[in-house]
């Protein structure tokens, strides 16, 4: 990794480019198995793992629940409902 970074840094210096302007450095970085994780989201309302058929949905307040839970909240409270975890009203 370090030789690639040194080469990139020298190319930037030659071309008068500022790497601080970039959001990421275009150098691939291979991670070892110990740094690779499979993320799983469990809906805090239904306590079920979300799936592609029932994906996680973010509410206006930033809390996340499953799409199934969101649909249940919408049907039981009509157009407006409150987040199950805070008083922010959703529409």
pLDDT in tens, 31-72: 788 887 778 899 999 999 999 999 999 998 999 999 999 988
Q: Which residue has the higher pLDDT, 12 or 22?
A: 12
DSSP secondary structure, 8-23, as one string: HHHHHHHTT--GGGSS
Q: Percent of the chain at pLDDT above 70?
A: 82
User: Looking at residue 6, what DSSP letter applies?
Assistant: H
Q: Percent of the chain at pLDDT above 90?
A: 29
Q: Which residue has the higher pLDDT, 6 or 41?
A: 41
- In this predicted structure, what is the pLDDT of residue 15? 73
Q: How far is CA 89 from the centre of its chain?
A: 23
Within the chain, residue ranges assigned H as helices are: 2-14, 67-76
Contact 74, 81 (CB under 8 A): yes
């Amino acid at each position: 990794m370090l030789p690639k970074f040194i080469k990139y840094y020298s190319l930037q210096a030659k071309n008068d480019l500022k790497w601080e302007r970039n959001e990421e450095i275009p150098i691939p970085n291979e991670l070892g198995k110990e740094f690779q994780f499979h993320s799983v989201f469990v809906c805090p309302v239904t306590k079920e793992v979300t799936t592609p058929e029932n994906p996680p949905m973010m509410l206006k307040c930033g809390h996340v629940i499953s799409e199934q839970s969101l649909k249940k909240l919408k049907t039981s409270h009509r157009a407006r409902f409150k987040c199950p975890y805070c008083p922010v009203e959703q529409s």
